[in-house]
Amino acid sequence: MARYNLPLGMRYSTLQERKQFYSSEFNLQKVAEWFDMRHGRVKFAVIMGRHTQIYPEKYREDASTTIIIDEYKDLEDVKQQIVEFLPEAVYYDRNVYDENGEKVGQELAFDLDPENVVCPVHGSLDDKMKRNQGLSFCELELDMVKTEAVHLYENLESRFSDLRVVYSGRGFHIHVFDLEAYKLTAKQRLEIAQQVKQEGFHIDDWVTSGEMRLIRLPYSINGLVSRIVLPLTKQELESFNPVTDEQCKPKFLG
């Protein structure tokens, strides 16, 4: 099977481009709205260059480290810290903490990535791993994973009432904001993950079970593909094409 690259126009962002984006385009108002309904303090996290090997030289030793940002005055301050690190990825912690820092719940989420679907051209994730292409994907896979996201959304609608879907730069995340979902136990989360997989969805069960509690921050930039992490309505999702959609393209792409 031939080697392949990312869909046309999807590429790593340079440090200068990350700087341009976070300095002048990053929409803090939208970020604030995303967290409107959450109580307690949100922890953020950045990874500077684990996959891209692109990072500020002075942070070479921490280039692959997950750096937690939990000391900040306000979102403007978080933005300043992001501009300092110029990361390839920005996340937030789905755990909800009380004033004393005790975990009191966790946002439920589902992560659908294109490398997990079996592509008729490029094969399964195993096939891709054997070619050292675990993070690669094609437009066909993107379209397949989008269809899965629509179906998973519809499936979850029968069980939850407050769902948000987010284009992650590669695939899609579905977040559940229902209050009772925050209270699910680890065992219940694992059961939901297993059930959804049995129904044929290619989710990352680490995310749903809660073992991986970090998730990409909406409105940040995915520096592996130069795309904005973008919340979508279900209607928008159905016709969404991340290769051509202007809404998810940072200005530096022109």
Helices (H), 58-138: 75-85, 125-130
Site membership for Zn ion, residue 243 (CB under 5 A): no
The least distance separating Zn ion from the CB of residue 247, rounded to whole angstroms, comes to 24
242: left (phi over 0), alpha (psi -120 to 50) or beta: alpha
Residue 153 CA, chain-centre distance (Å), reads: 16
The least distance separating Zn ion from the CB of residue 140, rounded to whole angstroms, comes to 5
The least distance separating Zn ion from the CB of residue 117, rounded to whole angstroms, comes to 8
Residues 6 or more apart in contact with residue 143 via CB below 8 angstroms:
none
101 vs 134, beta carbon nearer Zn ion: 134
Binding to Zn ion by CB under 5 A, coded x per residue (else -) over 189-228, reads: ----------------------------------------
DSSP string computed for 7-73: STT--PPPHHHHHHHHHHT--HHHHHHHTTT--SPPPEEEESSTTT----GGGGGGTTSEEEE---S
Site for Zn ion in 134-163 (CB under 5 A): 138, 140-141
Number of residues that bind Zn ion (CB under 5 A): 6
Please name the residue that has the structure tokens 């029968």. Answer: 158
The least distance separating Zn ion from the CB of residue 242, rounded to whole angstroms, comes to 15
Binding to Zn ion by CB under 5 A, coded x per residue (else -) over 107-136, reads: ------------x-xx--------------
> Contact residues for Zn ion (CB under 5 A)?
119, 121-122, 138, 140-141
